[in-house]
Amino acid sequence: MPHPRPTPESSPAAPLNRREALIRILQLAGLSAGTAAAGYWLSAHSVRPAEQLLVAVRRSHTVAANPALPDLTVISGNSPRALVQHALQELGGIQRFISRADVVIVKPNIAWDRTAEQAANTNPEVVAEMVRQCWSAGATKVIVTDVSCNDPRRCFQRSGIAEAARLEGAEILLPDPAKFREVNLGGDILQEWPVFQPFLEADKIINIPIAKHHSLTGTTLGMKNWYGILGGQRHRLHQRIHESLVDLADFVRPTLTLIDSYRVLVRNGPTGGNLEDVLLKKTLVAGTDPVALDAYVAKAYWNLDPPALPYLKMAADRGLGSLQFDKLHTQVVALPANS
């Protein structure tokens, strides 16, 4: 890939504050950055399990905070697998998140019938490495799944995620309509809704969205990725999309979030399709604060502040994380070119 040259400045730049420095690092991560050369299926196939009683489930999958470790880590480098490895090291190691005999769900974005290069789905190598790491920590089962928007078989296959994760021993679960349970989500907007059953049974849940533009919310990042646990007519939620995002984030509360920014779909999301809308950034942003992660990536790639993303402030007000990512303990690492 061609390497963009830095733009010369006619005068010395003013010193950057911490927030500006963090954003600049993410914006410039991977100096080889350049352009990389429906819900209808679900609503038609999901069935309301009338024979089951409505269940109320609210479980946190989070791990204990550790002040000695970063809340947020930004890793840039050439290898998607190395990005995952180093992000986990900076955050305290995979054993901090996964315990022996855990049943783990790895939740990428596998929503669309697109290739990895089109950046509408999570990078398959990022997913595969996370699966490998979970096994190394002693997990008893590692499941990779999502409730796709396009035809799930095509999405799982064409994205490359099914094959990459299967090679690492993951169980690949397509969204079987018979395995949705009607759940009381306990949200302000989201109350009774069908949820894919594996998400109700896992010990740990790892959220691995891809950084993308979204026509309704500006971006689709970690919190928006939770739409992929739901059945039913999800398009109805778009009428109050910000409130529904916060309800979902409150309901799931993941163990760890890794935002795949190896390729970033900067325009025409969430479906994409045009390689001219994709930037190769070779970056992974990971941590335990889902609000801070979304706020950081939205600012870095789309220059969006919280007022432009109402769900972020709503989530912070509900105690789900911090909007002030620049005040968190952050570790930034640029890996050697040969790593």
pLDDT tens digit sequence for 56-94: 566 789 999 999 999 999 999 999 999 999 999 999 999
Distances (CA, A) of 265 to 59, 74, 241, 274, 318: 32, 18, 20, 9, 29
List CB contacts of 65: < 8 A, sequence separation 6 or more.
Answer: 288
Q: Quick one: tokens of 162?
A: 């099914």
Predicted confidence band of residue 48 (pLDDT cuts 50, 70, 90) = very low
Amino acid 22: pLDDT: 72
User: What is the C-alpha to C-alpha distance for residues 207 and 256, in angstroms, rounded to an integer?
Assistant: 6
Distances (CA, A) of 301 to 29, 69, 261, 306: 11, 25, 10, 14
pLDDT in tens, 267-326: 999 999 999 999 999 999 999 999 999 999 999 999 999 899 999 999 999 999 999 999
Q: Give the model confidence (pLDDT) of 22-43 as tens digits.
A: 777 766 665 443 333 344 444 4
Q: Return the pLDDT at 50.
A: 37
CATH architecture of the region 39-334: 3-Layer(aba) Sandwich (3.40)
Residues 6+ apart with CB under 8 A from 51: none
pLDDT at 23: 74
**Residue 88: partners with Cβ closer than 8 Å, 6 or more residues away:** 94, 97, 133, 286
**Percent of the chain scored above 70 by pLDDT?**
85
Q: What is the pLDDT of residue 316?
A: 97
For the chain, which residues make up each domain, given as ranges?
39-334
Q: Where are the alpha helices (DSSP H) in the chain?
A: 18-28, 39-45, 80-90, 124-136, 152-158, 161-167, 198-201, 241-252, 290-302, 310-317
